[in-house]
Amino acid sequence: MSYDKVEVPEEGEAIEFDGESLSVPDNPIIPIIYGDGIGVDVAPAAQNVLEAAANATGHDISWMRVYAGERAQEEYGEGTHLPDDTVSAFEEFHVGIKGPLTTPVGAGFRSLNVALRKELDLYANVRPTYHLDGVPSPVKNPEQMDMVSFRENTEDVYAGIEWEAGTDEVQEVREFVEQEMGFDETIHDGPVGIGIKPITEFGTKRLVRRAIDYAIEHDRDSVTLVHKGNIMKFTEGAFRDWGYEVAREEYGENVITEDTLWEERDGEAPEDAVVVNDRIADNMLQQILTRTDEYDILALPNLNGDYLSDACGAQIGGLGIAPGANFGEGRCLAEPVHGSAPKYAGQDKVNPSAMILSGRLMLEYLGWDEAADLVRDAVEETISSKQVTYDIHRQIEGGEKVATSEFAEAIVENIEQLA
């Protein structure tokens, strides 16, 4: 592959994917986007920590810096937010990491995050939410939270099929819906914006499969399909039905649905089986607070996933901590849940834990479990010792408030001690 304005590092090798599994060299080339706003603070901090964990476990990382967002415009010219170089690098090297990218609300370009996920077909956004010792939380028992949400990443109302009020297009869609489809008394008179919510069998099933596979591999007890099928019967209801189809038809005795469990086994799950159940999304937002320890893996359509995983994240310490990664076939792009927080940009102030722990997911995907565990333990150790960034410092008694880069250095020191 040839690149216009970025360079492939001379040292390091490409990760290969043969359609089934990855082959990961000891020193893989990993593309990284620093991102907008606080990306310039958290991305180098994460690089520092991830490299230290890789080195401590017999590996290395050759970073390949690529661009998106504001910095891409500086490098590639006005109007180029997502250069071909960047998409090609993630395609060629399979595994990468990115900081946050700014998306203007309303007018302007579509979300770069959404564009990247679509271009690379990163169909599952995975967000583990677990509590680290010492992290302040608004709930009494944050340690009960240990969920992983699998959010569908390519469809639903995020598909971008929408029309602006006042345009000829929206008028055409309105006339079709009212006159051809018979919804003639449904939409109020006057200006209207209209969007379409596609939920496909293909998109649902590959997401649910991934969630169930994860539950089996990680010895988890349940997968919960979270939907609003009571109201949106043919989209969210279909998500539930197709999800159950996967559970019933593809896993034999390894997976059992909640209704079968009660009908045939009096609620007693076979040992080692994963139970698949479903919950209505609004109820689920209560359950994560009131019955936190009853849930394990969540599988959700795009919008529910966005809301619910942020709510889960709040219970374990908020945006400075919450990690995530996007997965496709043979692909992983790790990214923190938080955005570009422009008012803190470049101040060496914010918490890099979310980006570092997102990088941990990337290390796991590489099969570098020892390095991944070191990262988690070292972050936990650093926070427990109360050397923390401002967001955590203001919520705890005592402790030392440190800069983003100092916090990362403290984690590196802990990695070296723990290794």
Catalytic amino acids?
Answer: 158, 228, 282, 306
Smallest gap from residue 54 Cβ to ligand NAD (A): 22
Q: Considering the complex, state which of residue 257 and residue 326 has its C-beta at the smaller distance from ligand NAD.
A: 326
Q: Residue holding tokens 């302007």?
A: 108
Pairing verdict, β 124-130 and 400-401: unpaired
Nearer to ligand NAD, 109 or 262 (CB): 109
Residues that bind ligand NAD (CB under 6 A): 38, 42, 100-103, 113, 319-320, 335, 338-341, 350-351, 354, 391
Between residues 242 and 407, which has the closer beta carbon with respect to ligand NAD? 407
Q: Would you say 188 or 343 has its CB closer to ligand NAD?
A: 343
Q: Are 257 and 247 in contact (CB under 8 A)?
A: yes
Min CB(216)–ligand NAD separation in Å = 29
CA distances (Å), 396 to each of 124, 313, 349, 385, in order? 35, 18, 17, 12
Note whether 212 and 246 are within 8 A (CB).
yes
Non-local (6+) Cβ contacts of 49 within 8 A are: 352, 356, 359, 375, 378, 379, 408, 411, 412, 415
| Identity of the residue, 12 or 352, whose beta carbon is nearer to ligand NAD in the bound complex | 352
Single-letter amino acid, residue 6: V
Helical (H) or strand (E) element with 244: helix 236-250
By residue count, the chain amounts to: 419
Q: How far is the CB of 414 from ligand NAD (least distance, A)?
A: 19
Task: Tell me the HSE value of 353 on the side-chain side, using a 13 A CA sphere.
Answer: 31
Question: Which residue minimizes CB distance to ligand NAD?
Answer: 339
Spell out a b/e string for 353-388, using b for 16 or more CB atoms within 10 Å of the CB, else e.
bbbbbbbbbbbbbbebeebbbbbbbbbbbbbeebbb
The backbone region for 317, taken as left when phi is positive above 0, alpha when psi lies in -120 to 50, beta otherwise, is: left
Report, in Å, the least distance between residue 279 CB and ligand NAD: 25
Based on CB atoms, which residue is closest to ligand NAD, 113 or 414? 113
Q: How far is the CB of 43 from ligand NAD (least distance, A)?
A: 11
- Integer-rounded Cα Rg, in Å, for the chain is 22
Min. distance of Cβ 289 from ligand NAD in angstroms? 21
